Amino acid sequence: MLGLIALAVTGCGASSVSLSPAGSAASRPSVATHSPTLAPTVTPVPGPTFGPPGKFVPTGSMTVGRDAHTATLLLDGRVLIAGGESSGDERTAELYDPKAGTFSPTGSMTEDRVDATATLLPDGRVLIVGGMGLQSELASAELYDPATGTFNATGSMSRPRVFQTGTLLKSGLVLIAGGRDADAVDDAELYDPATGTFSPTGSMTRARIFHTATLLRDGRVLIAGGNGDSSAELYDPATGSFTATGSMTTVNRDHVATLLADGRVLVAGDGAELYDPATGKFTQTGSMINSCACTGPIGSPSAAPLLSDGRVLVPDEGLDTSSGFVGSAELYDPATGSFSQAGPMSRDRFGFTDTMLADGRVLFAGDEGRVFAMGAPSLSPEEVAANAADRASAELYVP
């Protein structure tokens, strides 16, 4: 298991994270990645099939408790949950079936991975890259094949990385940018599924860790924030180069970025703002209800899903001194530029993943649990059992 490190709060002061030296469950932040071009067509099914709208409803529990794992929507509608801090084996993986509402084991990864990135490829396989191994950051990568339920090694990156971003480009290549290899790095590389190899591409204008990477409509990638930085830049696949663009109005290191239906990008973390690719500028938008509305600072790759009606579901994952961790979410409406409260979760969560399903619901899975999140040095047998159940729990948000 990875060594524990002191909890660092970032959402109210930094998101997708807090920077800590070694990848422990108590210090690992989340990194948001998006592959909007491959998202299956959302076909909402109305009525009692899903339960009351605007609410969180229970679903099956994972086979093991996890945090800092990856969650990837497959082309057949199932969700691949892989790796993360679990009960001693960070190679395990499982599948969530939205129709049955159940999780079942699938093949194990070739290596232990915590805080890796997972990207759905055009052929339906999933590329899992880097992350924290048992001792250090990993340069290796592997592919999950849903047809066989197995993982197989593929080419390795030029360097180890953790907290990097992985973005599927329109060409089918995957852009791996930044991350940490002992320290934050500024270089990037491309993975080619046809050859199973990584090759270098241009370097970012500065080293970044805990940043976001969002594929824009024109095929460029917006890289924003990270490491306490308000700057942003654009990657152009045509030239393989990064160039600076407008800076954010708020310093964001623990944030999410979501491509809206109109082509703008919502960035939400310590504040909320919109990036307009037409002008290359960020402008402030409505205020969030909670000061720490983000997917960090601790956990696994997570995002703020774009719902079928154009609104964005932003999980609230910050510290609340009165009750521990906030277990709620809020909705951003681009039409009004305002946030509203979404129904509360069934329990407080930290270090979970949230995945937009093909039917329009959002799957929330996993939790860091009381041992890490609350810093409890020891628990009673009853508390141990409750903690294990918390870490394996999952629920659905019904728009």
Residue 206 domain-assigned?
yes
Residue 368: the pLDDT is: 76
The whole-number pLDDT of residue 300 equals 34
Strand order across the 281-284 sheet: 256-259, 265-268, 272-276, 281-284
| 9 in a structural domain | no
In a domain, 24, yes or no: no
Check residue 226 and give its pLDDT. Answer: 85
Q: Please report which helix (H) or strand (E) contains residue 370, including its range.
A: helix 369-373
Q: What's the CATH number where 337 sits? A: 2.120.10.80
Residue 334: is the preceding peptide bond cis (ω within 30°)? no
Q: Tell me whether residue 179 is in a domain.
A: yes
Q: Which residue has the tokens 């990837």?
A: 72
The identity of residue 138, as a single letter, is L
Q: Does residue 22 fall inside a structural domain?
A: no
3-class DSSP assignment, residue 388 = helix
Instruction: Give the pLDDT score at 378.
Output: 66
Asked whether residue 5 is domain-assigned, the answer is: no
Residue 27 lies in a domain: no
Residue 369: φ, ψ to 5° = 80, 170
In a domain, 133, yes or no: yes
What is the number of residues in the chain?
399
Q: What are residue 122's phi and psi, to 5 degrees?
A: -60, -30
Number of domains the chain is built from: 1
**pTM reported for the whole predicted model:** 0.84
pLDDT of residue 171: 98
Q: Is 286 exposed, middle or buried (0-12, 13-18, 19+ CB in 10 A)?
A: middle
pLDDT of residue 237: 98
Residue 49 sits in which domain range? Answer: 36-398
User: What does the pLDDT profile of the chain (399 residues) look like in tens digits?
Assistant: 333 333 222 333 333 332 233 333 333 333 333 333 344 444 444 333 577 788 999 999 999 999 889 999 999 999 999 999 886 689 999 999 999 999 999 999 999 999 999 999 999 999 999 999 988 999 999 999 999 999 999 999 999 999 999 999 999 999 999 999 999 999 999 999 999 999 999 999 999 998 999 999 999 999 999 877 899 999 999 999 999 999 999 876 678 899 999 999 999 887 899 999 999 999 999 998 875 545 443 333 357 899 999 999 998 764 443 444 447 789 999 999 999 999 788 877 777 899 999 999 999 998 877 555 445 556 677 777 777 778 899 999 999
Looking at residue 344, its pLDDT comes to: 84
Asked whether the CA dihedral 365, 66, 305, 41 is positive or negative, the reply is: negative
